[in-house]
């Protein structure tokens, strides 16, 4: 039975590259405020599952729903604002904090609001 507090649900997730199956019928759900652990030996595809849950890669089969709605029916940006994934190894680039923050504006093709970015960069550096 569907839990009324349910937020994120993965159903029958399957992932394979060429003929190599790495996830076979994985299902789980997580509710708001709930804390779940995914454990297993290195290489058993934990990160692959998290990338699928955060829509960074698409499953070969299966469905993901967020608050009862298929994520394929949501704009990816909206979904990614709500469900995200923290990489094991931080990826930074360029020479400054500003370079990292400015990337969002570049991707969104928005004007580079340098004054605001400099303030933000100072706040988090």
Ligand X SMILES: Nc1ncnc2c1ncn2[C@@H]1O[C@H](COP(=O)(O)OP(=O)(O)O)[C@@H](O)[C@H]1O
In the complex, minimum distance from the CB of residue 117 to ligand X, in angstroms, rounded to a whole number? 32
Distance of closest approach, residue 94 Cβ to ligand X, in angstroms: 25
How far is it, in rounded angstroms, from Cα 83 to Cα 101? Answer: 20
- Work out whether 100 is an interface residue with ligand X (CB under 6 A): no
Task: Tell me if 61 contacts ligand X by CB under 6 A.
Answer: no
Q: Which is nearer to Mg ion, 46 or 80 (CB)?
A: 46
Which strand (E) or helix (H) includes residue 21?
strand 20-31
| Residue 58 beta carbon to ligand X: minimum distance, rounded to whole angstroms | 13
DSSP secondary structure, 39-96, as one string: ---TTSSHHHHHHHHTTSS--SEEEEEETTEEGGGS-HHHHHHHS----SS----SSS
Q: Which is nearer to Mg ion, 59 or 117 (CB)?
A: 59
Which residue, 45 or 121, is less far from ligand X as judged by CB? 45
- Residue 76: half-sphere exposure toward Cβ, Cα within 13 Å: 8
Residue 111 as a binder of ligand X (CB under 6 A): the answer is: no
Question: Which of residues 17 and 106 has its CB atom nearest to ligand X in the complex?
Answer: 17
Among 10, 13, 26, 48, binds ligand X (CB under 6 A): 48
Rounded-to-integer distance, Cα 117 and Cα 46, Å: 34
């Amino acid at each position: 039975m569907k839990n009324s507090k349910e937020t994120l649900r993965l159903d029958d997730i399957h992932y394979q590259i060429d003929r190599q199956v790495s996830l076979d019928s994985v299902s789980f759900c997580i509710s708001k405020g709930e804390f779940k652990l995914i454990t297993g030996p290195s290489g058993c595809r934990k990160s692959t599952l998290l990338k699928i849950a955060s829509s960074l890669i698409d499953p070969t089969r299966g469905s993901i729903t967020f608050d009862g709605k298929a994520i394929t029916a949501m704009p990816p940006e909206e979904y990614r604002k709500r469900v995200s994934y923290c990489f094991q190894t931080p990826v930074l680039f360029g020479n400054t904090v500003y370079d990292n923050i400015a990337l969002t504006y570049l991707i969104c093709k928005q004007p580079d609001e340098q004054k605001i970015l400099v303030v933000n960069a100072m706040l988090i550096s």
